[in-house]
Copies of this chain bind each other. A is one copy, B any other.
Amino acid sequence: MLKDKLNYPEILKQIEQDIQNDFGKGKLADYIPALANINPNQFAIHITTTLGEEYSVGNVDTLFSIQSISKVYTFTLALKQLNDDIWQRVGKEPSGNRFNSLVQLEYENGIPRNPFINAGAIVISDIIFDGLGKTKNKVLQFVRGLSPNQTISFDEEVADSEREFGHRNRAMANLMKSFGNLKNDTNDVLDVYFHQCSIQMTVKDLSRSLIYLANGGKSLSNQEIINYRQAKRINALMLTCGLYDAVGDFAYRVGLPAKSGVGGGIVAIIPNKLVISVWSPELNQAGNSYIGTKALELFTTYASNSIF
């Protein structure tokens, strides 16, 4: 029995061993060429604690496409801007459906179920568009400042692909527009959305930039990004809505607030302790990193660290 004996470096090393036979069990995202052609045999974990300690293993310096994880950054910006008024534009309940379904959107009059499904994130882009003006770059600046790492950038090839194959997102944007829940021009809003999805960074950038969610709203340099209550609430929202249609399964197996992206990244929060980011590009059926999910499950088991 490993539990209670290992420190973080030992745990990460152990996890790296445990997952070696799992390459090839998932499938690369294939809806855009830019993601379909990635080398699947990659894996990285990075931990940043609220005390500033850092631990990592694997391809720590490789850039990957954060995709839906970007929804955490834009939601943070929108929450700062509107606080609880944000809930007039988007819900906070799990979707109970495939992550990009139009059905629920139609039944619920253009109000997306939550900010972490595509439709919800598009509304969030529309909201911050109002508050920040030329948003695309404002989002990037926000992410760069949080990390802090001024080299974080869009992958324009991915952004182009998202636009070229983004018919379903365009369908949702137009449907919400028809219900009056999009204020700006759909093409302008989608340009922000497609770009935020294309942000590329490392697991290190990811853990560092989101440490405020584990740290009562404050960055490592003690700057208040959001307040204590807002941080707690984003964590709650990540737990109930952050993993597409595998929210329950992930809570059951891992037991941490988290947000995943189809680029193979997952970031998870242990409140008051740490942020742990994993990346491995092959996905399970729910669209979450196959190895990433397993690695986090092993982590909460070895570290006895789930919130439950």
Binding site for B on A (CB under 8 A): 91-97, 101-104, 106-107, 113-114, 167-168, 170-175, 177-178, 186, 232-233, 235-237, 239-241, 245-249, 251-252, 255, 257, 271, 306-308
A215 CB to closest chain B CB (Å) equals: 12
A232 touches which of B93, B255, B257 (Cβ 8 Å): B255
5 A-B pairs whose Cβ atoms sit less than 8 Å apart in the complex: A92-B252, A93-B248, A170-B174, A236-B248, A236-B251
A94 touches which of B93, B107, B174, B271 (Cβ 8 Å): B93
Task: Using A94-B96, A174-B171, A307-B271 as known contacts, say yes or no to A237 and B241 having CB atoms under 8 A apart.
Answer: no
Give the complex CA separation of A174 and B102 in angstroms. 12
Please indicate which of the listed interface residues A241, A247, A308 has the most CB atoms of chain B within 10 Å of its own CB: A308
A236 CB to closest chain B CB (Å) equals: 4
A92 touches which of B103, B104, B106, B249 (Cβ 8 Å): B249
**B239–A308 contact, CB under 8 A?**
yes
> Taking CB as reference atom, which chain B residue is nearest A246?
B93
**B174–A178 contact, CB under 8 A?**
no
A46 CB to closest chain B CB (Å) equals: 22
Give the complex CA separation of A286 and B74 in angstroms. 29
> Taking CB as reference atom, which chain B residue is nearest A245?
B93
A101 CB to closest chain B CB (Å) equals: 7
A-B CB proximity, top 7 nearest? A96-B96, A167-B178, A94-B94, A171-B174, A235-B308, A171-B175, A93-B248
A66 CB to closest chain B CB (Å) equals: 22
**A113–B96 contact, CB under 8 A?**
yes
Give the complex CA separation of A173 and B172 in angstroms. 11
> Taking CB as reference atom, which chain B residue is nearest A100?
B178
Q: Which residues of B contact A97 (CB under 8 A)?
A: 96
**A167–B174 contact, CB under 8 A?**
yes
> Taking CB as reference atom, which chain B residue is nearest A97?
B96
**B232–A237 contact, CB under 8 A?**
no
Q: Which residues of B contact A106 (CB under 8 A)?
A: 101-103
A307 touches which of B104, B173, B178, B307 (Cβ 8 Å): B307
Give the complex CA separation of A282 and B151 in angstroms. 55
Q: Which residues of B contact A178 (CB under 8 A)?
A: 167-168, 171
